[in-house]
Each structure stands twice: as C-alpha cells, then as structure tokens.
Structure 1
Amino acid sequence: MDVPSFARWGDAADAVALPDGVRELLGLREPAPPVARPALPPVRLPADVLDALAAACADVATGDAARLAHAAGRSTEDLLRLRRGEADGAPDAVLRPADHAEVAAVLRVATVHRVAVVPFGGGTSVVGGLRPVAGGFAGTVALDMGRMCGLVDIDHVSRTATLQAGLRGPRAEELLGDAGLTLGHFPQSFQFASLGGYAATRSSGQASAGNGRFDDLVLGLRAATPTGDLDLGRAPRSAAGPDLRQLLLGSEGAFGVVTELTLRVRPRPDAHSYVGWSFPSFEVGSAALRALAQDGPLPTVLRLSDETETAVGAATGAGAATGCLAIVGLEGPADDVAARAAGVERLLRAHGGTPLGGEPGAAWLDGRYRAPYLRDALLDAGALAETLETATFWSRLPGTYRAVREALVTALGAGALVLCHISHVYAAGASLYFTVVAPQADDPVDQWRTAKAAASDAIVASGATISHHHGVGTDHRPWLATEIGPVGTAMLRAVKNAVDPAGILNPGVLIP
C-alpha cells in the first residue's frame, strides 16, 4: 500500500514489510481501506495576526505541506485519522523560531490575539499531545523548534552540556561524541524526538537502568512563558524550596516552551555487551530482574518479554528463545563491563535463568528502533497495532500485569494478541509496556479508544500510574485526574494560571 509520509512513522526509506506468516497468524483477510488525502481546513488566522506573528518570528509557513506535517502526533489513532482523510488538528501556521527571543515574542503576540500555541519537537507524541482543544481561540500555530539545534556549551569539569531544545537525538549524540561524551538516552523515538520533547514528556530511554531517565539528566533549563522567562538550575541539587525544574519536566508545553537544557553527560563507553537470557515464566524472570535492580550489579539495559511477546518475536525472527526472553546490556569501561557481567551471570543463574549468548542481544540492538515501522506495515495490512505503558511497585506488578492484559483481551476479543515486557526497572518497581495487535474493526479508532479506556481503568484500579514515559497528552487526562486527585488538579491549574493566564499553551493537554 502506498501511504504518504504524513500518515507513517519516520523515514519512508526505512519502511519494513510484514514478516511472512504474520497475516495468517492474525487472521487478516482484507487490507486496510485506501488512504485518502486529507482536506485541510482553511486558515482561520486573519492577515493582521499573521503579520504580527511574522514580525515576532521570521520563519512562518501557511502552505498545505507544512500544516499537514504538523497536524498530528504518531499514535495509532493519529495515523488512522490521517489515513482516512481527517486533518482537523492541522495548525493555521507553522512558526520556526531561531532563538529564545523569538519564542518569547511569539508567546506575547499569541496572548494578545488569543492564538493557541502548540510546541512541536519531533512530532512523536503517542498520547494526543499534539491535538490541542483550541475551539475558543482565534486559531492555532505549531511552534516548530527544529531551528534551535545547537550545542551551547560543554563543562568538562562538571560533566554537563548545555544544548538547545530543538536538537534531535542523533544530532545531539553526534555533537557530544565529538567531545567523547554521550547523554546515553536512547528511547524508541530516538531517531526523531527532540531534547525538548524528552523533557516535556519525562522520556525514559532504553538504557534507563544504567543511565537514568531523561528527567534524571536535567540539571538546568531555560523556558519562555507568556508571563516571562524561567531560568532554573543553579546547582545539581538545592534546598531552596520546591524544585521548579520539576514543574516544566513532564508539562508537555502547557506551562512554557523549553528552549535550552543543561544536562548531565558521561564519557562514551569503551565496551558493550548485549546478551539474551531465558526464564521459564514471566513471574520467575520478574523476580530475577527485581534482584538485579535491588541488589545489583545493575545492567545498563534490562528488559524482559512475557511468553507471548517472546513467542511472537521468535516467529518473526527477532529472537529464538522459548519461555520468556530477557535482554541484558552492559556498557562502560571494559574492566567494569567484565566484572558486572560475571556478577549478573551468577545472579541470573541463581534465579533460574539460562544464558543464550550474544545473538538475541545483537538482534535486539539491530531492531530496537524498528517497531514503529512494523506498526505501519500492520496498519497497511488491516490490523490494529498500538502500545500503552504503565509503572508500579514490584509488589503490585503481577496484579497490574494480569488486570491490564485481561482488560485488553476482553475489549478486543478473539484474534487479538496482547504482548508485554518490562522495559525499565527501579529498586522499588518497574514499567510494563504492552503491545496490542488485532484485526481492525469497522471503526478502528473507536475500537482502540474502547480498549485503551478499559486498560486505563484497569491501570488506575490496580494502583499503577497512568503513564511511565509516554506522557499525558489529551488521551490520559481523565485518568490523571483520578491519579492526582482534586487537590493535585487544582495545583496544576494554579500553575497554569500563573504562567499562562490566557491559556494559549497547548490548550486541553495535560491538565484535567
């Protein structure tokens, strides 16, 4: 199926074909409906407002191509809606500021003229973070941060780097690599997501066990708000009141536009070791991961697939393990990697693990950014394919796993595959990452919304968090209200009113 790039993930040159046998495995009979070219709504902003925005930011585009490229994120719902010709979320204009001053100027103009502003990094949101509720505004603009992509400073003594927020993952690693450094942050969206997007969603990379989440790396930040600038982070830690950096981290552009970040960096690792382990059950494997997370030695990457995900991976050539496959990655100085590898092996053997050698680890490394492309192939073939994630304490993890899996299977019915893996571990708990594949119903958007609501209800009822690293967006807002309660909701609204009293920043996103 010839699907335009606006309704696909990433680079069309990297598209993948559906592996042999998957269509039969899923019982797919008909391909998805043909893709319709979206009819963009007319530009709502009057000429005088566009002129004022152009005076604030030199790079303003109102053409169809620019608007369509910024019309949605990359959730399955976003792609399905685009594929059936719905682009009602397209902004009236796309602004590409060159520096912090232009961002601040745009926010001032937008406040005066009541224009909704959607900060746009890599466009990889999968929770409706780029679908504002902007009906009461004069129009909407996407604030594309892509021109703000420089390395500002490296402090080798403190091991920090200051970078502009529009930098995407690969370019940031290239700039730091020239100095022998790395962030060590590699989420699945790494090839396209921006540093500002990482901060705005509390991103968690695949190497979080050893390197931490992105919010662990943020030591300072600069942000523009409609009421003024924020320059936060004078020291690694401070007792000078609540840490205001934390209000911007995870705020999804609702409290301000992050323009610059000072981040903890580390030397690029000398050695790498990625191996596979097999466990007889998800329960046994989870206990082994918990032992590593609590007692060490802690790997850089630590993941465990359940029985279904392991079997599907083996069937599609992504692994050869039976039972439950774990991927254990170690990075760092060669002597440190060797010592930790020996300690990891002793512990995993003692917890019922069987070593599989380097082949599964190499296969995972080779394919770790490929899953979203496989989703495109599944959508082309008429399947529904999407993910969701949560996190909870170790004591609650088995119950959350069972409850969410049962909710998805019940909502989607016969023929659905529900896969899961532990993707991030902590001493106190872990993240569960679910993948769903099922034949599409007549209305696949409604089909997924129903299943996602059932899973979200199960997450909240089990005592887990509604999101570990995807964020809140518009999709998770109802469940966030339950998670933080009325007092927490009032606090978020108070902060919003303080920094954005006109409510122009990403309206309808995050705040219940």
Structure 2
Amino acid sequence: MADSSTPTVRPLESSRNRSWWGWGATDQALPDAECIALGSLVPGAVQTPLPVPDVAALALPTVRVEAPRALAALMSSTPRDRASHTYGKAYRDVIRALSGDLAPAPDQVARPRSELEVIDVLDWAAGADVAVVPYGAGSSVVGGVEYRADRHRGVVSLDLSALDQVLEIDRVSRAARIQAGALGPGLEAQLRPHGLTLRHFPQSFEFSTLGGWLATRAGGHYATLYTHIDDLVESLRVVTPVGVNESLRLPGSGAGPSPDRLFLGSEGTLGVITEAWMRLQDRPSHKASATVLFDDVHAAFEAIRAVAQSGLHPTNCRLLDPGEAALAGVAQDSRSALILGVESAHTPVGMRLTELIGLARDHGGTLASTAPESADAAADTWRSAFLRMPYLRDALARMSLITETFETACTWDRVPQLYESVRSRLSDVVRDVTGSAGTINCRFTHVYPDGPAPYFTVIAPGRRGEEVAMWDRIKSAAMQILHDLGATVTHHHAVGRDHRPGYDRQRPEPFALALRAAKTALDPAGILNPGVLLD
C-alpha cells in the first residue's frame, strides 16, 4: 500500500494549526471572554485569564548542540518547534508554558522520515552524549516527553509523525502493519476503504499516535474486552541503540516471556517503536446506546459490576457519579448516570442492549431514554462534553484554577471504600492547599469482571504564580492515597515522570532489578527518555 523507502517530506509542524502551549487546535481553544465566564462559576477564581505568550517573544534556552551535517535536513531548532516539543499536555505543562517557562526545551527537534533515519539519530546521539526523547504527538499528561535529567550535553525530541503510513494489510487475518507515527484520524482514514478499523479511540485520538498508544499502554474506546492497546497487538518492531527488535507475528504464543510485553508501556526508555502489526475489526454497522440513572451511587456501583460480570461485553460502559453527570450535562438532582453502548459489524444489537438495561434496572436504575434502539441524547451529550473537556481544562488553567485528573483501578470489593476515601481524604488536602474543598468528581472509564477503573477530577481555586506548586502537592497526595488503598497509580495515563513516586512504590523490587538490567543492556549510553520509569 505504501513504500516506506520513499517517504514524502513534510514540514515539521502539522498542516492543522496545533497549539504549542495547550490542547489540540488553536481554533478550538476558548477565547478570553469564555475563560472568564467559566472561571466565574468557581468561587475564589481570579478575574482575568493568563495571556498566551507570543512564541517569537519566548526566552528559550541557548541551543547547546547543533545538528550534524548528515542529519541537518531532519532537524529544526526554530523557537516554535522547540517550544511545542518542550512539554506534554498535563496541567503543570500548560501553566508553565503560559508562564513562558520553557527551561527544559530540547535543543533540536528531529523528524525522521524512515526507520533508517531513526537509527542514524540514535547512533549519533549515543556517541555525542545527547538525550533522545521519543515524541508521538505530545499529548502526554504525565511528563512523559519532558527532559528533566540535566546530565546530558544536549537533548533531541524525536518526532515520529512523518512515519504515518499503513504499510500492509492482511485482509484474510484482519490485521495491518502500521507505522508508529500515524495519528488516530489518519490511521482510520487509511483503513476505511478496506472496511476495517482498529477502533481504538482514546480521548486524545485526534492528537495522539499509534506509537504513543503502544509505548504508554493506552486505554481506548472499549470499556470492556479490548480496553488497552495491548489487546490489539500482533507484533512490534522497535529500534534500540543496540539493534532492531522485531517479534514474530502470531495470534498468540507460549514461547517464554513475550518480547512485545517488554516494550509495551516502556515509554521510550528501552527503544523507539517504529512499526506494529495490529489486529483489526470489520467496521460496525449496528449500534445502540442508552443511559440509566440512579439515585444512589452505590447502587450504581452494583449495577455496573453486574454488567461487567454478565458476559454481554458492552462497548461503552461509563458510570458518572452525581458531580460528573452534572458537569457533563447528563443528569441533575444528585443522580448518577450509567451510559451503555453496544455495537456489531454483523448482527443487530437491540436485544443485547435490552439485557444490559434490565441488569441496571434490577439494581434500581431508571432508563433516561424510552427508545433504546434510537440515538440516546444523554450519551450524545456526554460524548460531546468528553471530547470538549481538554479545551475546558485549558480555559480553567488560564484562570489559575487547579484542575487535576487521575485514574486508577481496583477490585470490586474495594470500590466503595476507595470512592469514599479518595473523595474525603483528597478533599481535606485540597482545602489545606487552596483554602477551598473544591470539587471532586468520579467516573468509571473501563470495567473488568474483577474491578473498575475509576477516574477522578479535581477543580479548585488556585493562587496566581503558585499553581504548579499547588498542583504538585495535590498530585503527590493523590498518589499516596491510592497507594494506601492498594490501587494502581495509573490505569491508562502511563507513568512518565509525574507518576514516578507512585510507580516506584507499586513496582516489586525483583522486577525493578530486571527492568534496570534491560535498560542497561538495550540503552548502554543512557540516552533514551532519561528519568521515565527508572533513574
């Protein structure tokens, strides 16, 4: 389908006007007036938004390393390229960018057009003591693309967005070989003519890449079954400083530890994922959704557990607690909302949805829509709010409001305690840090037969100039609370640098020894994304 040896050279910046400091596209960001209106809804908010700096006026650090002549055509050190590759999109990233603090900016942004050029960049960097930070589309919310080590002679951001092709399709096995730099929409556009889909739709779908999903073990569209990108992988091709690792393409294997599992979730510390064979599906033609409301959130917990353990495998199964449901405009009057969706490429899904609604009703739920086979207005409202939320977060950040999200997972027997303890204990922390209890909401993004993945959102007034320090205190407390409750530090946001303290507490020491040994063996010069997962 495409010849990877003859890539098309494109400018470093995407043709769409991407924001260098915040989420997504600049034409979707909220204007000042809307930022002010949004901030006015939170007591204690400041009155004026932080201005967005002009890239040309930024005080970027001096470039320490120049591109070697052989790689000069791949590299850029323009202010916009360096600024847009400094941070990911976490709250603390947005605040620092708005404040003009770009101290960690890379010296160069490399955009290889082939795997061979990836190898050339790594070979040069290893010999020149230059750190390499792999970069898909920069949507990390855990400090995954920010250099903080301060011990290398220079830093290169390795932008893989030029490696964006579906190279081969096996229609018989329903799989495709795809380059790691493919953005979600571009990937799906190349599969659509074949009637196929990867159907992995994280919230960041429009602004994230296949390689980023694989390197961070991203969670996607499916709330049950295919929840993580791991479930869709047949094999990986990874460039490491000591050679190329390509696993055998198989539907499954019992031949020792899986080589793919070593690189899935490795976040660019062990190698650079350049290609993957991915399992595909026929495009769904039957879809239905419904929303069920609950007066008691704990009854909703029991209902969603029954759904998760039923074997009916809904595609969408999102539970919004009263605060989250009100914020999304799905439900009011302190009611929780369970959004259910089913789909199929082959058979009608109405009966399956009816069974799921019946399970929810058995636990006190009330159907919000009386026509399960029709478009569900509440689900549509939630979907629109879900996709718009990152832009609203940026608007809140410009008003110096503290907005933090963190997700976790635990077994069903611990859900009630985790939900109540997190909200109670974190509320005390937020009050101590900000002077206000703020708002703490929760939704379940993915569910398994043995437990859910709760996702918490915190909103509270901040003090201008102190936002990052306040966020850090709340983030640190949240990680400690999750650890105390036996829940994971992250379900699908990855570790990066922001989750390192929680990951270090969670990770068994024998495994840490093995991971350090793998790092030493695969990256002997220690150039790949220093500080992520390991010191």
Instruction: Report TM bin, short chain.
Output: over 0.9
Residues in 2 aligned to 1:403 and 1:224: alpha-carbon distance in whole angstroms: 44
**Aligned partner (choices 378, 384, 388) of residue 370 of structure 1:** 388
Residues in 2 aligned to 1:155 and 1:56: alpha-carbon distance in whole angstroms: 35
Asked if residue 204 in structure 1 is aligned to residue 219 in structure 2, the reply is yes
**Aligned partner (choices 499, 508, 512) of residue 531 of structure 2:** 508
Q: 1:239: Cα distance to partner? A: 1.4
Q: 1:25 to 1:91 in 2, by over 3 A?
A: closer
**Aligned partner (choices 51, 62, 68) of residue 42 of structure 1:** 62
Any conservation in 2 of the 1:400–1:458 contact (CA below 8 Å)? no
Asked if residue 384 in structure 1 is aligned to residue 407 in structure 2, the reply is no
SS at match of 1:230: strand
Asked if residue 451 in structure 1 is aligned to residue 486 in structure 2, the reply is no
SS at match of 1:134: coil
1:323-402 map, 5 Å: 323-333=335-345, 335-357=347-369, 358-402=376-420
TM-score with structure 1 setting the length: 0.94
**Aligned partner (choices 22, 27, 44) of residue 8 of structure 1:** 22
Any conservation in 2 of the 1:134–1:140 contact (CA below 8 Å)? no
Q: 1:111 to 1:144 in 2, by over 3 A?
A: same
**CA-to-aligned-CA distance 1:351-407 (integer Å, 9 cap, x gap):** 211111211011123333111001112122331212111111111222222232223
Identity of aligned residues (%): 39
1:8-27 map, 5 Å: 8-16=22-30, 17-18=34-35, 23-27=40-44
1:43 partner amino acid: V
Any conservation in 2 of the 1:403–1:459 contact (CA below 8 Å)? no
Residues in 2 aligned to 1:438 and 1:250: alpha-carbon distance in whole angstroms: 32
Residues in 1 aligned to 2:135 and 2:294: alpha-carbon distance in whole angstroms: 42
1:156-195 map, 5 Å: 156-195=171-210
1:194 partner amino acid: T
Which stretches in structure 2 are left out of the alignment for 5+ residues?
1-17, 370-375
Any conservation in 1 of the 2:237–2:273 contact (CA below 8 Å)? yes
Q: 1:87 to 1:331 in 2, by over 3 A?
A: same
Q: 1:245: Cα distance to partner? A: 0.3
Which stretches in structure 1 are left out of the alignment for 5+ residues?
none
Q: 1:324: Cα distance to partner? A: 0.3
**CA-to-aligned-CA distance 1:414-473 (integer Å, 9 cap, x gap):** 251111101100111111111111111240101010001111001011111111000000
**CA-to-aligned-CA distance 1:261-314 (integer Å, 9 cap, x gap):** 111110110022222110122211111111111123221011101122123333
Q: 1:486: Cα distance to partner? A: 2.2
Moved more, 271-280 or 175-184: 271-280
Residues in 2 aligned to 1:492 and 1:220: alpha-carbon distance in whole angstroms: 21
**CA-to-aligned-CA distance 1:105-129 (integer Å, 9 cap, x gap):** 2111111111100000010000010
Residues in 1 aligned to 2:182 and 2:96: alpha-carbon distance in whole angstroms: 28
1:488 partner amino acid: F
Residues in 2 aligned to 1:298 and 1:8: alpha-carbon distance in whole angstroms: 35
Q: 1:322: Cα distance to partner? A: 4.4
Q: 1:20: Cα distance to partner? A: 5.8
SS at match of 2:368: strand
In the other structure, the counterpart of 1:79 is 94
Residues in 2 aligned to 1:84 and 1:29: alpha-carbon distance in whole angstroms: 16
Asked if residue 251 in structure 1 is aligned to residue 266 in structure 2, the reply is yes
SS at match of 1:425: strand
Any conservation in 1 of the 2:400–2:463 contact (CA below 8 Å)? no
Q: 1:29: Cα distance to partner? A: 4.1
In the other structure, the counterpart of 1:141 is 156
Asked if residue 219 in structure 1 is aligned to residue 234 in structure 2, the reply is yes
Any conservation in 2 of the 1:388–1:434 contact (CA below 8 Å)? yes
Any conservation in 1 of the 2:437–2:460 contact (CA below 8 Å)? yes
Asked if residue 431 in structure 1 is aligned to residue 453 in structure 2, the reply is yes
Q: 1:262 to 1:67 in 2, by over 3 A?
A: same
Asked if residue 31 in structure 1 is aligned to residue 48 in structure 2, the reply is yes
May I ask how many residue pairs the two structures share in their alignment?
A: 501
SS at match of 1:178: helix
Q: 1:494: Cα distance to partner? A: 0.7
Give the alignment's Cα RMSD to 1 decimal.
1.8
Q: 1:30: Cα distance to partner? A: 2.2
SS at match of 1:438: strand
Q: 1:321 to 1:499 in 2, by over 3 A?
A: farther
1:193 partner amino acid: S
SS at match of 2:409: strand
Residues in 2 aligned to 1:140 and 1:368: alpha-carbon distance in whole angstroms: 35
Any conservation in 1 of the 2:35–2:49 contact (CA below 8 Å)? no
Residues in 2 aligned to 1:382 and 1:474: alpha-carbon distance in whole angstroms: 23
Q: 1:232 to 1:93 in 2, by over 3 A?
A: same
In the other structure, the counterpart of 1:476 is 499
Any conservation in 2 of the 1:32–1:380 contact (CA below 8 Å)? yes
Residues in 2 aligned to 1:201 and 1:325: alpha-carbon distance in whole angstroms: 29
Any conservation in 1 of the 2:238–2:274 contact (CA below 8 Å)? yes
Any conservation in 2 of the 1:165–1:258 contact (CA below 8 Å)? yes
